[in-house]
Structure 1
């Protein structure tokens, strides 16, 4: 077992991101990228991000993208996670789970990567817990792809981007990161 999050050491710099509702998300600083005279940062959450899905028998799970912090579904999820010594955190941007999680099975991950039927653009998730609320089944899933948060740095603070700014700078940041990884 390992600490929740991507397994970073405590000497990695961290930044706090706050959304409009006042929720916080503590993140590790992964990359600092200057674009057009402005500093942007790629961050990864300290705690493990999770996604909520409605489970429908044999059909594909349906993601639930909007859920209020006081939603009864989250109260039940809290109780189920406590049975595993985990805590559901209503963080900025995403729900997270804090506590010790088991590492995903590397053999299963390798099989998923080798599977020709898997859409390369599709996100891959691993079920953490499932539970029932009002005769509906739900699940909290851990994304197996890295969960990164793009922010603008203002006076040492991480500021979430508007949708327009994200659309404008994301391709520039991706190009910069690609250049950093594969210089000519």
Structure 2
């Protein structure tokens, strides 16, 4: 069975990416980039990627970069999201949310763009839901910048890159995309 299929809209094919733990992430194929005789692909998740943060009063939200799929925090997040007809998916690479999400308010996005001019390195997120676990507040945030996944294509299959390979290939892929004038 091939991991390439027609996308929901029929415009973009989809690829299934699997991590070492056996979690899958269904992605749209955005770009196929040949480099040194090897094909690489730039993918975007079909479902909405989310990031988990620990919230503290009078302090910046603290990203939680590693959480096991059986973590009680995620069980509570599941329940909270179900109240909004959303489903938390423990995907490869990132957590995702499946379901109908409201589009971000354009005025809010314009304000964030103005703020980004001050700090181009700052990632921007929009709070999706917040919840309490053991007297600690947490939040699931949606990244407002595109969440892209770089993979190596082998026999029609998408393979995740090692950290070393990603560090080595990513600048070259970015240069190639800039040459193609993407993104504008």
When normalised by structure 2's length, the TM-score is: 0.92
State the secondary structure of the residue aligned to 1:84: coil
**Aligned equivalent of 1:181:** 181
**Aligned equivalent of 1:157:** 157
Aligned residues: 175
**Aligned equivalent of 2:31:** 31
Deviation at 1:69, TM superposition (A): 0.2
How do 1:14-163 and structure 2 match up within 5 A?
Answer: 14-115=14-115, 118-163=118-163
State the secondary structure of the residue aligned to 2:22: coil
1:52–1:138: 8 Å Cα contact kept in structure 2? yes
Distance in structure 1 (CA, Å) of the matches to 2:167 and 2:88: 30
Deviation at 1:110, TM superposition (A): 0.5
Distance in structure 2 (CA, Å) of the matches to 1:10 and 1:130: 35
2:116–2:122: 8 Å Cα contact kept in structure 1? no
Q: Which runs of 5+ in 1 are unaligned?
A: 1-7
Distance in structure 2 (CA, Å) of the matches to 1:116 and 1:181: 21
Compared CA separation, residues 117 and 178, structure 1 to 2 (3 A): closer
The answer to whether structure 1 residue 168 and structure 2 residue 164 are counterparts is: no
Deviation at 1:82, TM superposition (A): 0.0
When normalised by structure 1's length, the TM-score is: 0.92
CA RMSD, aligned part only? 1.3
TM superposition outliers: structure 1 runs of 4+ over 3 Å = none
Distance in structure 2 (CA, Å) of the matches to 1:157 and 1:136: 41
1:114-144 deviation per Cα after TM superposition (whole angstroms, max 9, x unaligned): 1377411111000000000000000000000
Distance in structure 2 (CA, Å) of the matches to 1:145 and 1:134: 31
Compared CA separation, residues 116 and 39, structure 1 to 2 (3 A): closer
2:28–2:46: 8 Å Cα contact kept in structure 1? yes
**Aligned equivalent of 2:5:** none
Deviation at 1:85, TM superposition (A): 0.0
Compared CA separation, residues 127 and 107, structure 1 to 2 (3 A): same
Deviation at 1:11, TM superposition (A): 3.2
2:19–2:92: 8 Å Cα contact kept in structure 1? yes
